[in-house]
């Protein structure tokens, strides 16, 4: 069962309304009773007035206030507030004047009911209730709207992250299957190793990476598995250096955040360099941060389309870093005629 994340003061709506009016009754009773010294009489008078106050308050927050909030018709709203103010004073005064069982209900004896001054005075003294109720109503609407917007933003970011993360899968899978096909045709014993490592990688990518963070050790195992597959592909033609230093056991990292840079070394570097392909990958783990240095050779004759695809791929992973590690990472690219270098620094929690 999903736990209700709504704050308790937004749940149990009916009970909160009951509590609100109990507090109103007690506060008004004690205020008037302390002034007049008539606790029993004032208690009865406040109970009699309560339905009129409730009618006036709910009419305001559910009929008048929405005109300002939803329709933005402020002139009409101001006019209706003025009318409501007068009517509120009338119904509250009427509840005392006609229903009150006591002979002298707060100075009404010998006075006419339709005394505009007394009506407006009564409205002014009790109009704090629609004001307080309106403030609660507006705050509740604002809070729920903020929560809705926050949830939508989180869902949008999650969808974007999933999309960006999924973009590394097709190319990797395509290349690995091609390699596997070639090894099977050659009846190579390496085919079984490729199938096993590919199975492990796909299991991680599809099922185990659908969380916000994973143990750094697991992420490095996937990187090493990917590199092993690429080594099978290139055999001795590729000069590869892969080195990891530091303790990875105590850290977590966003899943598949390092792999795109590793994949980029092979996809746009080694696979295009037919003469002297080489890849140098160094990962250093410190207590506070992780650094990745990935260097690959680039062909003398560049393919413009490949350059554009490389730019798109790196832009995607950069966007993912911005979403997951805002202000907690540093990313730098360096390039010349022979080498392309990526320097990444992630501050670990």
Does residue 155 form part of some domain? no
Which of 74-88, 116-130, 205-219, 303-317 shows the lowest mean pLDDT across its residues? 303-317
| The pLDDT of residue 309 is above 70 | no
Q: What is the structure's pLDDT at 107?
A: 46
pLDDT band at 269 (very low <50, low <70, confident <90, very high): low
Same domain, 235 and 270: yes
User: 192 and 98, same structural domain?
Assistant: no
| Residue 137 vs residues 45, 57, 61, 88, 125: alpha-carbon distances, Å | 27, 11, 7, 19, 21
Question: Do 273 and 330 belong to one domain?
Answer: yes
Q: Which residues contact 80 (CB under 8 A, 6 or more apart)?
A: 64, 67
Cα 266 to its chain centre, rounded Å, is 35
Question: Domain for residue 31, yes or no?
Answer: yes
- Between 342 and 311, residue with greater pLDDT: 342
Q: How many percent of the chain have pLDDT more than 70?
A: 78
Structural domain includes residue 156: no
Q: What is the mean pLDDT of residues 212-236?
A: 85
Look at residues 202, 191, 197 and name the one whose alpha carbon lies nearest to residue 166: 202
Least confident span in 13-22, 45-54, 61-70, 191-200: 191-200
Lowest mean pLDDT among 27-31, 54-58, 81-85, 163-167: 163-167
Q: Check whether residue 140 and residue 193 sit in a common domain.
A: no
pLDDT-above-90 percentage for the chain: 17
pLDDT band, very low/low/confident/very high, at 110 (cuts 50, 70, 90): very low
Pick from 170, 194, 173, 171: which is nearest to 182 by CA? Answer: 194
Same domain as 320, residue 221: yes
Question: How many domains, the chain?
Answer: 2
The answer to whether position 33 is within a domain reads yes
Residue with tokens 């050790």: 217
Residue 88 has pLDDT above 80, yes or no: yes
Residue numbers of the domain that contains 44: 10-150
Considering the domain boundaries, does residue 129 fall inside one?
A: yes
For residue 78, tell me if it sits in a domain.
Answer: yes
Report the CATH number that the domain containing residue 295 is assigned in CATH: 3.30.565.10
Which pair of structure tokens corresponds to residue 80?
Answer: 């209706």
**Within-domain flag for 1:** no
| Cα distance between residue 45 and residue 53, in whole Å | 12
- Using the structure block, give the residue that is written with the tokens 């409730």: 54
* Residue partners of 91: CB distance under 8 A and separation at least 6: 52, 55, 56
On whether both 63 and 203 belong to a single domain, the answer is no
Q: Buried (b) or exposed (e) across 298-307, using 16+ Cβ within 10 A?
A: bbeeeeeeee
Assess whether pLDDT exceeds 90 at residue 93: no
Rounded to two decimals, the pTM is 0.55
Mark whether 200 and 312 lie in a shared domain. yes
* Domain final residue, candidates 86, 116, 150: 150
Instruction: Name which residue leads in pLDDT, 31 or 197.
Output: 31
- Which of residues 88 and 271 earns the better pLDDT score? 88
Is 157 inside a domain boundary? Answer: no
* Domain identity same for 37 and 172: no
Check whether residue 222 and residue 110 sit in a common domain. no
């Amino acid at each position: 069962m999903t736990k209700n994340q709504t704050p308790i003061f937004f749940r149990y709506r009916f009970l909160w309304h009951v509590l609100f009016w109990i507090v109103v009754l007690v506060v008004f009773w004690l205020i008037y009773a302390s002034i007049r010294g008539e606790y029993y009489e004032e208690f009865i008078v406040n109970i009699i007035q309560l339905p009129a106050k409730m009618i006036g308050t709910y009419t305001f927050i559910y009929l008048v206030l929405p005109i300002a909030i939803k329709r933005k018709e402020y002139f009409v709203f101001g006019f209706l507030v003025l009318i409501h103010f007068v009517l509120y004073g009338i119904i509250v005064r009427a509840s005392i004047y006609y229903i009150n069982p006591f002979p002298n209900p707060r100075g009404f004896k010998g006075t006419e009911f339709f005394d505009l001054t007394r009506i407006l005075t009564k409205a002014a003294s009790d109009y704090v209730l629609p004001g307080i109720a309106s403030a609660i109503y507006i705050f509740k609407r604002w809070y729920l709207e903020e929560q809705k917007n926050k949830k939508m933003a989180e869902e949008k970011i999650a969808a974007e992250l999933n999309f960006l993360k999924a973009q590394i899968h097709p190319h990797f899978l395509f290349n690995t299957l091609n390699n596997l096909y070639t090894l099977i045709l050659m009846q190579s014993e390496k085919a079984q190793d490729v199938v096993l490592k590919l199975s492990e990688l796909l299991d991680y990518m599809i099922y185990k990476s659908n969380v916000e963070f994973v143990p750094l050790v697991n992420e490095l195992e996937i990187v090493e598995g990917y590199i092993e597959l690429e080594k099978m592909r290139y055999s001795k033609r590729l000069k590869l250096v892969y080195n990891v230093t530091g303790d990875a056991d105590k850290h977590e990292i966003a899943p598949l955040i390092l792999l795109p840079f590793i994949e980029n070394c092979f996809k746009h570097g080694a696979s295009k360099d037919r003469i002297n392909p080489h890849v140098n990958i160094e990962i250093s783990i410190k207590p506070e941060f992780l650094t990745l240095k990935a260097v690959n050779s680039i062909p003398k004759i560049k393919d413009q389309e490949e350059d554009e695809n490389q730019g798109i791929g790196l832009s995607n992973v950069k966007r993912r870093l911005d979403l997951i590690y805002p202000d907690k990472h540093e990313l730098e690219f360096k390039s010349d005629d022979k080498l392309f270098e990526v320097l990444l620094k992630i501050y670990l929690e």
